[in-house]
């Protein structure tokens, strides 16, 4: 029987909104379970943006946040549970809760019933069971004389982050891939509480994932501004929007280069690779760091955008565009490249929906998930943003999304620099945060939806901080994409997702 949620069972906020922690309904677990699974089942427009727990008194308080893309609402509900009592897993109804529940199990030891496999997520230093270590991860295995296993990593051939990939193959064909993560765990969420100065916390946010500096720093800044009850001026929104779109353009360009590298197309690799440089050099001209570290700060605008910078950016884009278009024109018509891209690494609409994929990993298969249009903040409301959607879910779709999003970002940047808002002198920063609040921010980084969530205690100190990188959802999409592909196509599949290890491991 379908479950009709009662509006009293959750509280609704908008993106970058906050709510007093006492006003979040505290349900019994059965109702909590019915509500949250019921909200998502058969509703592709809704998905879980964050589900986490923190210690509260003798129990664990679970907080579940479900975003509705049609209404721009985020429904928040909670439940206090004891760490030893077995609970029915949401995953038994909705697969996309799978990793959230593994994480809660790993952190607090809550034994979920009817969860397919409560595998470790990242072996955090404060895990409930210290006897589980990264060296003895429980891999899925198949007993057969016909099959063999291939282990890759944690250290990979290239200069990239560590993670272990375990393939089960039948000859050259991949039957199953399991991705073991956690090597990058630095205790980020815990450090947000230990480092008490605002500057320390924002530097921490910049270092969550060095390739998504604008994304994570914007999310952190918005959470902090909401928690301190601060309204920021338009020029700050302006600079953050510019930074996010520049980041998207630069990384997508680099990714197109990497895709060419992996099909041994040297010209594309070199040209897209070099085209990224003027973009990130421009970010350095603006803020002193090629990756945008130092550019975004909560409550203020350390590097106001000027008319001179606008002229420079115009020039950068003017030089970029013809070379980019010429190279794209060539690549997207080159049979030898297309034959490697097309129908390689396919993930179906049903699969991306069931695993809760976000960002490019959702849009590649026809699932419209883009915070810029579904929960817009900053200046995205001005653009009437239409997400780039593809339907084949293959490497080619992911390459096309990048090409089209580069064009889209270029268009937005040009629109933005037509009129540079005057920098408003910064108001003094509030010295304390509002007590007993929960604030949540969603930002569409270049990979997809970033969600930061901060909770303050009764004295206005940060007592819990939760970070969710889009990779948290999307690693499963990579694992599914390589099934029945040749193992030699793994690198191109991996590159076409380009997921974050450190953003996942935190």
Partner 1 sequence: MLNNLKILFHQGKQFIPDVTTARVPGIFRGRPVISTEPVNEEELAELCPTGAIEVSPVSIDLGKCTFCGECARVFPMKVRFTRDYKLSTNIRERLIIREGEDHPVEVDSATVRKEIRQVLGKSLKLRQVSAAGDNSAEWEMNAANNVQFDMSRFGIEFVASPRHADGVVITGPISENMAEPLQICYDAIPEPKIVVVAGTDAISGGIFDGSPALKREFLSLYPADLYIPGNPPHPLTIINGLLDLTRKKG
Closest listed residue to residue 87, CA positions, set 61, 105, 108, 113: 113
Closest listed residue to residue 458, CA positions, set 425, 436, 439: 436
**Where in 22-41 is the site for partner 1 (CB under 8 A)?**
none
Residue 126 phi, psi dihedral angles, 5° rounding: -105, 30
Is residue 323 part of the contact set for partner 1 (CB under 8 A)?
A: yes
Strand partners, 11: 76
Is residue 304 part of the contact set for partner 1 (CB under 8 A)?
A: no
**Comparison of 376 and 445: residue with beta carbon closer to partner 1:** 445
Write each residue from 473 to 502 as x if it is in contact with partner 1 (CB under 8 A), else as -, in one continuous string: ---------------------------xxx
CB-count burial class (<10 Å; 0-12, 13-18, 19+) for 366: middle
Q: Which of 90, 123, 167, 475 binds partner 1 (CB under 8 A)?
A: 123
Q: What's the closest the beta carbon of residue 505 comes to partner 1, in angstroms? A: 8
**Comparison of 70 and 431: residue with beta carbon closer to partner 1:** 431
Write each residue from 281 to 300 as x if it is in contact with partner 1 (CB under 8 A), else as -, in one continuous string: xx-xxxxxxxx-xx------
Inter-CA distances, 353 with 89, 118, 178, 341, 457, Å: 19, 21, 19, 22, 36
Please state, as a whole number, how many other Cβ atoms lie within 10 Å of the Cβ of residue 407: 16
Options 196-204, 352-360, 437-445, 466-474: segment touching partner 1 (CB under 8 A): 196-204
Options 36-44, 169-177, 197-205, 218-226: segment touching partner 1 (CB under 8 A): 197-205
**Comparison of 113 and 333: residue with beta carbon closer to partner 1:** 333
**Where in 221-280 is the site for partner 1 (CB under 8 A)?**
267, 270-271, 273-274, 277
Residue with tokens 């969530």: 453
Write each residue from 210 to 229 as x if it is in contact with partner 1 (CB under 8 A), else as -, in one continuous string: xx-x----------------
CB-count burial class (<10 Å; 0-12, 13-18, 19+) for 227: buried
Q: What's the closest the beta carbon of residue 469 comes to partner 1, in angstroms? A: 11
Is residue 505 part of the contact set for partner 1 (CB under 8 A)?
A: yes
CB 113 within 8 A of CB 91: no
Secondary structure (3-state) at 440: strand
The single-letter DSSP state of residue 57 is T
CB 469 within 8 A of CB 176: no
**Comparison of 228 and 257: residue with beta carbon closer to partner 1:** 257
Q: Which of 159, 335, 336, 428 binds partner 1 (CB under 8 A)?
A: 159
DSSP calls for 205-236: HHTS-TT-HHHHHHHHHHHHHHHTT----HHH
**Residues of the shown chain interacting with partner 1 in the complex, contacts defined by CB under 8 A:** 123-126, 134-135, 154-155, 157-162, 182-187, 190-191, 194-195, 197, 199-200, 203-204, 207-211, 213, 267, 270-271, 273-274, 277, 281-282, 284-291, 293-294, 302, 322-323, 326-327, 330, 500-502, 505
């Amino acid at each position: 029987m379908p479950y009709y949620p009662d509006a009293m069972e959750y509280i609704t906020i908008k993106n970058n909104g906050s709510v007093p922690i006492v006003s979040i309904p505290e349900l019994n677990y059965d109702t909590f379970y019915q509500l949250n699974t019921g909200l998502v089942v058969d509703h592709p427009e809704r998905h879980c943006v964050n589900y986490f727990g923190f210690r509260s008194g003798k129990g664990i308080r679970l907080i579940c946040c479900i975003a509705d893309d049609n209404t721009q609402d985020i429904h928040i509900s909670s439940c206090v549970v004891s760490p030893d009592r077995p609970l029915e897993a949401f995953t038994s109804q909705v697969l996309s809760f799978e990793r959230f529940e593994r994480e809660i199990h790993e952190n607090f030891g809550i034994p979920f019933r009817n969860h397919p496999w409560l595998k470790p997520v990242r072996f955090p230093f404060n895990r409930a069971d210290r006897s589980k270590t990264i060296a003895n991860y429980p891999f899925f295995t198949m007993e057969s004389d016909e099959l063999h296993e291939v282990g890759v990593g944690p250290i990979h051939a290239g200069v990239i982050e560590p993670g272990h990939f375990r393939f089960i193959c039948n000859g050259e064909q991949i039957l199953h891939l399991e991705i073991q993560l956690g090597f990058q765990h630095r205790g980020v969420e815990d450090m947000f509480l230990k480092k008490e100065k605002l500057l320390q916390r924002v530097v921490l946010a910049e270092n969550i994932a060095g390739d998504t500096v604008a994304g994570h720093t914007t999310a952190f800044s918005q959470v902090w501004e909401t928690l301190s009850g601060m309204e920021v001026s338009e020029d700050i929104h302006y600079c953050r929007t510019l930074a996010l779109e520049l980041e998207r353009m630069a990384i997508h360009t680099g990714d197109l280069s990497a895709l060419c590298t992996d099909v041994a197309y040297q010209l594309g690799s070199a040209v897209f690779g070099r085209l990224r440089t003027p973009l990130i050099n421009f970010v350095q001209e603006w803020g002193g760091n090629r990756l945008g570290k130092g550019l975004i700060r909560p409550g203020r605008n350390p590097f106001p955008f000027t008319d001179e910078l606008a002229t420079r950016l115009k020039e950068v884009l003017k030089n970029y565009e013809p070379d980019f278009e010429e190279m794209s024109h060539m690549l997207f018509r080159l049979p030898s490249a297309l034959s490697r891209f097309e129908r390689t690494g396919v993930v179906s609409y049903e699969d991306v929906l069931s695993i809760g994929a976000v960002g490019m990993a959702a849009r590649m298969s026809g699932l419209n998930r883009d915070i810029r249009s579904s929960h817009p903040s900053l200046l995205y409301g001005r653009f009437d943003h239409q997400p780039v959607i593809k339907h084949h879910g293959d490497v080619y779709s992911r390459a096309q999304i990048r090409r089209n999003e580069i064009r889209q970002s270029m268009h937005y940047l040009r629109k933005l620099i037509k009129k540079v808002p005057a920098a408003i002198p910064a108001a003094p920063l509030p010295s304390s945060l509002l007590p007993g609040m929960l604030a949540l921010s969603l930002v569409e980084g270049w990979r997809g939806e970033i969600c930061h969530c901060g909770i303050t205690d009764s004295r206005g100190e940060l007592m819990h901080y939760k970070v969710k990188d889009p990779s948290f959802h999307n690693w499963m999409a990579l694992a599914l994409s390589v099934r029945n592909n040749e193992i030699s196509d793994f690198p191109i599949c991996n590159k076409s997702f380009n997921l974050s290890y450190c953003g996942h491991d935190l």
